[in-house]
Structure 1
Amino acid sequence: MVQDIWLSFRRLPLWVQIWVAVILVPVNLMPLFFLDQPQGVLIAALAITGMALNLPIMIAARGMSEAMALPHILCWVPLVIVVVGLLSAAETLNPTYIRFLWLLLIVDVISLVFDVRDAAHWMRSRKPG
């Protein structure tokens, strides 16, 4: 099963593999370094849960699936709202935290653009007939 998931990942376009492995996953793990900041625990929970919920999907599909977009939408839309709210009061935040929040916001909004398309395609493919 792990090999099936790995091979499925490796069949993705190279730019997607780089996006996921070098940008998306690391940036969504970075909230662990900011747990002591305002809303830090909530941001970490939403960011990581959005990824962790993909594990059962990958196991069931024995690889990558467009259904993996659904946990991102479920968790990262609220995450984006929280981050935008924090950035609207940025003058009270640590400058390093502000830079991180902007990075997280940009990365997750880009991901959500792809996720909405993938989720719609996956749901259309599930309709009978």
Structure 2
Amino acid sequence: MTRTPHQETTLLRDIWISYRSQPLWVQFWVALILVPVNMASLLFLTEPMGLWIAILANIAMLSNLPIMLYERGFTNFMALPHILPWTILVCLILFARPPATGLYDVYLWVLVAVDLVSLVFDYQESLAWLKDRQRKAPPSA
């Protein structure tokens, strides 16, 4: 099925309205901290483990795009794709820390802090989504 320009505009508007309906602190967190800090990993691709860090940092966010399109906005389900890559990312940086100095070293600490904060919320939202889904599931025979 081909979308008309009106349908695409409506989809983007629905996603924007959903984003703007989030608490103000969430909007700031996502737009000014979470997305920019994870995307900044692309600036360090040539650093030790830089490619892996960029993949793990960004794959979690990119996997939210199909969810946003399907759900026509923000939902708790968007937390689920963050769990595995960002948990691996945080563990990689904390326990197999790549050699880093200067700006890269500072960046890794900021990335860990931001993604750890996000994961606290992501684990809670994922559990809420799974419980809600379980509650809505038809009883088994």
1:36 aligns with 2:46: yes
Secondary structure of the corresponding residue to residue 38 of structure 1: coil
Matches within 5 A, 1:14-93: 14-87=24-97, 92-93=99-100
TM-score, scaled relative to structure 1: 0.93
Per-residue CA deviations over 1:3-40 (Å, capped at 9, x if unaligned) read 11110000000000000000000000011110011110
Aligned partner of 2:84: which letter?
Answer: L
Secondary structure of the corresponding residue to residue 64 of structure 1: coil
Q: What is residue 117 of structure 1 aligned with on the other side?
A: 124
Unaligned runs of 5+ in 1: none
Larger Rg: 2
Unaligned runs of 5+ in 2: 1-10
CA distance in 2, matches of 1:86, 1:29: 21
Aligned partner of 1:22: which letter?
Answer: L
TM-score, scaled relative to structure 2: 0.86
Q: What is residue 8 of structure 1 aligned with on the other side?
A: 18
The alignment's C-alpha RMSD in Å is: 1.2
Identity %: 47
Q: How many residue pairs are counted as aligned between the two chains? A: 126
Secondary structure of the corresponding residue to residue 119 of structure 2: helix
